[in-house]
Structure 1
Amino acid sequence: MTAEVQATVEQAKRLAALGRIDQALALLADVTARADAPWQTLSVHADLLKRAGRLEESADLSRRLVALRPQSVPARHNLASTLGDLGRAEAAEATCRETLAIGGDAPETWLVLARALQAQNRFDAAQTAYGEALARRPAYADALRDLSQLIWMQGAGLEAACAPLDKAIAAAPGEPVLRQIKARLLDYAGQPQAAYQVLTAGALDAPGELAAAQAIQRLDPERALAHADRAAVMAGGPVIAVLVVQAECRLALGQAAAAMVHIDTLRRIAPTNQHVLACQATAWRMLGDPRYDQMYDYAAFVRPYRLEAPSGWASLEAYLVDLAQALHGLHGLKAHPIGQSLRGGSQTTAKLSESRDPAILAFFQVIDAPIRAYMAALGPGEDPLRARNTGDYRLQGSWSVRLHPHGFHADHIHAEGWLSSACHIELPSSVTGADEGREGWLRFGAPPGVPTLEAQHHVRPQPGTLVIFPSYMWHGTQPFGGDETRLTLAFDVVPA
């Protein structure tokens, strides 16, 4: 590597350290565009592209780096990791195994392999790979979190899911992150008080104070606020997650004006964060601010679209039968994941937009027209929704949920999205039948933790109907009875 290229790389690193990643990427682009680009430049550029969320470009550079340095363990591991982030589980698995074959044996590689296996519904093999990662680093927090969640989602029960965490905590009692992982598991298993007790059993650092606030928030918002305030002091500067919890606690306590102090700070440092926008809307509603009705304009922003039958299917009804069959085949787990909105059901782990199943692949072709119609109907504007409307989009994530009888989605938003969706594929008769109770219906406008604010808008699901709405809108579902499941396919969209 010449001195000139070395200077360029070092300058790019300095820019990235200052948060000016776009400038760093622009600086490196001219160098890596050359066929004889040094491997060090390819490595730094691929890493920065990944940090910027430009995963396809990062993977392309990583492939060039592997071709240039076929015996480099880090190069192959990084490619495997990026392929996993892209949802290409089979390719990620193959690259992990190549990494192991040339001498790589790091717990990080075993973790990427475990996640790739899990995304392919090969749960026993994934559990073994998580175990290999932990054999190399017993207190590896990421592996412990994923393993305990996999055990929970397989329906083995809370005690079995907590077992690897309890073993790690006993061996490393001074690691607060392990208690935080266990507490989150307990919270989503319906035991928030037990989660809080686990967290407060030892000293709390700033992340621990935040975790304690989140665990007790619904039960005791005043105590949660005290934890969040301590986390803010310990952090020594604005932290988005802490500010959000402070705002939510004040909203739960009826202190909307005080919450706006936190929200105003958040809007400055995270202007497109959908959770922040949701908190702002909630405060405006509580304060009677007319801007709330503009932001939560249900007539304009919650739009249903009837799907067209894809090419190769005689009717939409025939297509939905095949799509439902393909999706049911992916629901190998039994319990809801940790950190998600559903309760009483399962969620697929693979990115469905990467599926090669013909029915699933066709879905991502037929949704293009509704998404573009939604963006066209929005048009331009200065509000947080329209201001990001470029007229083009990319998918941020895609998954399927199968709710069991009495299951539901807790009210939530999608913090990293712009537009969110729910497409109903297969519905139980309790949902498609009488209107009484609105069983299984979508509901909008009920922020969690503020019981005085009820849902304002409902949408009755119909098989083959896609509902698109802003990611910042609080949304959930009504529980439903009977003995049939409710199957949906959903995705998030961000501007391109």
Structure 2
Amino acid sequence: MVLGEFAPWRLWSLAGSAKDWRGSKQPRAMTDLVTNQAWTLIDNGRAADALRLTTGPVALPQASAGLLMAHAAALKALGRTDEALTFNRRAVARAPGDRFSWYNLAATLGDLALDDEAEGAARKTIALGLDVPEVRLVLGKALQGLHRYDEAEATFVRALAARPSDATVHLNLAQLRWMRSGRSDEALAPLDAAIARHPADVTLRTIRSNVLTFAGDHAGADATLEDALTRAPGDLAVRIAAARAAGAVGDRARMLAHAREAARLAPGALESQTVLCEALLAAGQADVAARTAEALVAAAPDDQYALVLRNTAWRITGDAQGDLFRDYAALVRTDRLETPEGWDSLDAFLDALRDRMLELHDLKTHPLNQSLRGGSQVPSLDRSRDPLVQAFFACAHKAVARYIEALGAGEDPIRRRRASDFAFAGGWSVRLRSEGFHADHVHPRGWISSAFYLDLPGRFDDETTRAGWLRFGRPGCLTEPALEAEHFIKPERGTLALFPSCLWHGTQPFTDADHRLTIAFDVVPR
């Protein structure tokens, strides 16, 4: 299913409400046939085929709303959400009274972080009579993006009143309560109540373990997942999560046992093979891990996490094929941001951008499922309409172009994607407080990643501890033997660090009364 698409009501939209947007009680048989075929292709992972099927028909001015929605869904499944928006807007124009057209428009707007428009479209959907948790979820996320947290939380709660065990809504509510309070008990209260009412629902327990993990309670997360496994030993998602939780508490043997069972349950699933590779690295079986990672890379050559698992195994076994990815002098570069047009100095611009970012950092702690620990994060800056933010990305674009040019040509997994035409694929700001850091990680869907140092009021010049410095090469997964960082960058205000997304990177913790304020983004070739 495509994220954001309203699959449970799709056929209802095509049949029951067809008269609302076609002016006839009888659907056009050919159009509906193509539309239904497109949805079937999308649901079976064949979005490219669905796109080819619908491209011709949607070019016609009389294309139905249902067909336009299916075409938009195919584009979104292929990562072309910006293009999908045009067709969602056309669907609404074609059928202004169709609630499903409005819902899908709201979902796409939300995916693009166009939160003000997403709120309006979601409210229109509700006004047209489609008041279900999926719509409330889109509305709540839009309100959260608009920093209207009380309203967002109330909207999630209302969605749960209609469907008390909705896992996606619970995840979003728990995350918002966690980020607002910094307290796991506050985040988990609604979720624990739902688990008490639905004790057999292991998905809710998996969400609970996720909250505990990012709150730092690894033992609690582990116990929660072991309990879930007693209720659903064949649940693949729980088994994979349990493997990683066992690793987080240092039980490598149990991690490997869970990973092997996940691979037995779904031997062809990439996620099963990924967690098995992690467990093999933790168990000191790097040679086997390397072969497993080779298969992962063959199946998904641009998956940056598959690449780094293979590179990590190569580093342990001493395979010279991994040397390319440890050539930090060639792969990791820093650049000084140019002064944006219209500004007298870079410092003046950075001061203004800093003040704007600090206004946006109004949550207490970090989100779930991110590398950040001990700070706050502002997402979706690459889609911001703020002139200050847009000026930053215009300057960053020039720096990225220089980096790509300096990389040079090649057939390795980094350079073979080299292109002069590229796009930002995510942008965010992080405000780390004292003792905060980024756990070592990669960006699985990126190509080039970054760190821009916007404000550093504390001291980051200790050459011994390298407190607050960006580090490379220390794995974000357990390995035997343990591997340490191999390269560091000292933070300097106005400096942009650029590097391949497949390199392990994190930051050294720092202790200071002041903060560390950065902006980061990923880049992908078009």
TM over 0.5: yes
- The whole-number CA distance in structure 1 between the counterparts of 2:251 and 2:300 is 27
- Give the match for residue 389 of structure 1: 418
What residue is the counterpart of 1:459 in the other structure? 489
Change (3 A) 1:134 1:11: closer
* 2:520 matches 1:494: no
Contact between 2:278 and 2:289, CA under 8 Å: does it hold in 1?
Answer: yes
Give the equivalent residue in structure 1 for 2:307: 277
Instruction: Tell me the CA shift for residue 429 of structure 1.
Output: 2.8
SS for the counterpart of 2:52 is helix
1:326/1:357 contact within 8 Å kept: no
Q: Is the 8 A contact 1:430 1:480 kept in 2?
A: no
Q: Which of these residues, 242, 265, 268, is aligned with residue 238 of structure 1?
A: 268
Deviation (angstroms), 1:24: 2.5
**Contact 2:64/2:94 (<8 A) preserved:** no
**What is the aligned length?**
493
Match of 1:112 in 2: 138
Pick the aligned partner of 1:208 from 214, 220, 238: 238
**Unaligned 5+ residue runs, structure 1?**
none
Mapped contact 1:420–1:492 kept (Cα < 8 A): yes
DSSP 3-state at the match of 1:244: helix
> Are 1:42 and 1:62, in contact at CA under 8 Å, matched by a contact in 2?
yes
Which residue of structure 2 aligns with residue 164 of structure 1?
A: 190
**Partner of residue 409, structure 1:** 438
Deviation per CA, 1:188-231, whole angstroms, max 9, x where unpaired?
11111111111111323111111111111131122111111112
Residue 363 of structure 1 corresponds to 392
Matched residue, 2:463: 435
**1:340 and 2:363 aligned:** no
Mapping of residues 73-472 of structure 1, within 5 Å: 73-201=99-227, 202-203=230-231, 204=233, 205-218=235-248, 219-235=250-266, 237-348=267-378, 350-431=379-460, 433-448=461-476, 449-450=478-479, 452-472=482-502
Shift of 1:468: 0.8
Larger mean Cα displacement after TM superposition, 68-77 or 13-22: 13-22
The Cα of 1:379 is off from its aligned counterpart by 3.0
Separation (CA, whole Å) in 2 of partners of 1:224 and 1:179: 19
d(CA) in 2 for partners of 1:396 and 1:229? 34
Give the letter aligned to residue 301 of structure 1. Answer: L
Amino acid at match of 1:485: H
Answer yes or no: is the 8 Å Cα contact 1:428–1:482 preserved in 2: no
CA contact (8 A) 2:225 2:238 kept: yes
291 and 187 in structure 1: CA distance in 2 versus 1, 3 angstrom threshold: same
1:434-478 deviations in Å (ceiling 9; x for gaps):
323111110000003236211000011111111111111000001
Q: Work out the CA distance in 1 between the residues paired with 2:224 and 2:45.
A: 36
Q: Post-superposition shift, 1:31?
A: 1.0
CA distance in 2, matches of 1:65, 1:13: 16
Q: Which amino acid in structure 2 is aligned with residue 247 of structure 1?
A: C
Q: What is the rounded CA distance, in whole Å, between the counterparts of 2:40 and 2:513 in structure 1?
A: 59
CA distance in 2 between partners of 1:185 and 1:337 (Å): 9
What is the alpha-carbon root mean square deviation over aligned residues?
1.6
Alignment-mate amino acid for residue 438 of structure 1: R
Q: Is the 8 A contact 1:324 1:426 kept in 2?
A: yes
What TM-score, normalized to structure 1?
A: 0.96
Letter in 2 for 1:144: H
Q: Deviations over 1:30-61 (max 9, x none)?
A: 11011111233212111111111111221111
Q: Distance in 2 between matches of 1:447 and 1:398?
A: 23
Q: Which moved more, 1:485-494 or 1:151-160?
A: 151-160
**Aligned counterpart, 2:8:** none
Identity level (%): 44
CA contact (8 A) 1:260 1:280 kept: yes
Match of 2:219, SS?
helix
- Matches of 1:283 and 1:240 in 2, distance apart? 17
What letter corresponds to residue 369 of structure 1 in structure 2? Answer: K
Give deviations 1:277-300, integer Å, cap 9, x for gaps: 010100110011112111232111
Q: Deviations over 1:405-448 (max 9, x none)?
A: 111111111111111110000013321x3323111110000003
Per-residue CA deviation, residues 129-164 of structure 1 (Å, 9 max, x unaligned), is 111111111001011011111111112511111101
Which structure 2 residue ranges, 5 or more long, are not aligned?
1-26
Q: 1:379 to 1:20 in 2, by over 3 A?
A: farther
2:75 to 25, 49, 57: 49
Amino acid at match of 2:322: Y
SS at match of 1:467: strand
Q: Secondary structure at the match of 2:242?
A: helix
Separation (CA, whole Å) in 1 of partners of 2:109 and 2:130: 17
Residue 458 of structure 2 contacts residue 513 of structure 2 at CA under 8 Å; is this kept in 1?
Answer: no
Q: 1:117 to 1:211 in 2, by over 3 A?
A: same
Give a deviation string over 1:280-334, Cα, whole Å, max 9, x none.
Answer: 1001100111121112321111111100111121111111110100000111111
Counterpart code for 1:233: R
